[in-house]
Amino acid sequence: MITSTACPPSAATARIGVFDSGLGGLSVLRAIRSLLPTAELMYVADSGHAPYGERGDAHVIARSRAIAAFLRERGADLLVIACNTATAAAVSALRQDHPVWPIVGVEPGIKPAAGLTRNGRIGVMATTGTLRSERFRLLAQAHAAHVDLRLQPCPGLAAAIEGGEVDSPEVKARVAEHCTPLREQQVDTVVLGCTHYPFVAHHIQAELGPMVRLIDTSDAVARRTRHLCESLPARAALPLATAADAAKLWTTGEQGRLESFARRWLDFAWQADAAVIPD
């Protein structure tokens, strides 16, 4: 668990925009709040267009551009793409669109997994879109050439988690389905390659056994976000109740579902609303 330390003014008062295909990126938002407790946070759950992992790249790029513009218009100093699929498909396009805007992506933690495995067999649980991407291929080539990488696409799992009932029979059944091949292949380290999956890590751990290490990159994304925020121009300090308490959340899907998920998983105050974000 990351712990916060004193932040320079630029990081302490930064306005950070975060988005995901749905609710999964709240795991990243939670990690960012832990490390940057006084930053102003804005989050978009594109639940009305989820799941990205089962869509084509053109769809993901179009949605990513639209949401980036939405957050940019609201003053985001920095953008965090809290979605592996959107990072794989759209981060290059967004960086070309906004060459001076700091943008943080999230990628499966293959590099730390390769350093931690004991038997050389690593599982990667991710969406089909993430695993088929050129960005993932290059990531695996760079960091996993010396290990046995077992790729496990998990169709339907992010959508089931998006339903909000992470302990439902449907979610447990899908976790069991996708974990069984990895358990049979005797992997000792498993990368959670979708920001939705940390919310069901307890089920994944139960299926794989206590000796299997799970790798979640939320804390690493938060650290990278803080590092980039430190070089931003400092904003005027906001009142504590504004800066530290009220993260702004929007969803293109059902507002009640976002609120239910946020109540369960976020340990800081937030305000939720619905949003229409056309391509």
Q: What is the pLDDT of residues 69-89, one digit of tens each?
A: 999 999 999 999 999 999 999
In a domain, 3, yes or no: no
* Domain that residue 70 falls in: 9-106+219-274
Q: Under 8 Å CB-to-CB from 77, ≥6 apart: which residues?
A: 14, 15, 16, 102, 229, 232, 235
Give the pLDDT band (50/70/90) at residue 243. very low
74 and 124 housed in the same domain = no
Cβ count within 10 A of residue 74: 14
**Distance in Å from the first CA to the final CA of the chain:** 37
Q: Which of 216, 248, 263 is the last residue of a domain?
A: 216
Is residue 119 a known part of a binding site? no
Tell me if 63 sits within 8 A of 279, measured CB to CB.
yes
Give the pLDDT band (50/70/90) at residue 235. low
115 and 208 housed in the same domain = yes
Task: Decide which of 235 and 71 is more confident.
Answer: 71
Indicate if 194 belongs to the active site.
Answer: yes
- Among residues 40, 37, 22, the alpha carbon closest in space to that of 271 is found at 40
Among 75-84, 159-168, 200-209, which stretch is predicted with the lowest mean pLDDT?
A: 159-168
Residue 30 has pLDDT above 90, yes or no: yes
Catalytic entry in 7, 154, 179, 194: 194
Catalytic entry in 7, 83, 154, 229: 83
Is residue 84 a known part of a binding site? yes
32 and 116 housed in the same domain = no
| CA separation for the pair 51, 129 (Å, rounded) | 10
Tell me if 47 sits within 8 A of 78, measured CB to CB.
no
What pLDDT, on the 0 to 100 scale, is given for residue 245? 60
44: left (phi over 0), alpha (psi -120 to 50) or beta: beta
Order across the sheet with 213-215: list the strands.
148-153, 121-126, 189-193, 213-215
Residue 217 has pLDDT above 60, yes or no: yes
Q: What is the CATH number of the domain that holds 170?
A: 3.40.50.1860
In a domain, 279, yes or no: no
Is residue 273 a known part of a binding site? no
In a domain, 4, yes or no: no
Is residue 21 a known part of a binding site? yes
Is residue 52 a known part of a binding site? yes
Give the pLDDT band (50/70/90) at residue 51. confident
Secondary structure class of 248 (helix, strand, coil): strand
Count CA atoms closer than 13 A to 175's CA, side-chain side.
23
192 and 208 housed in the same domain = yes
In a domain, 140, yes or no: yes
122 and 199 housed in the same domain = yes
When divided into structural domains, the chain yields a total of: 2
Cis omega before residue 99 (within 30°)? no
In a domain, 81, yes or no: yes
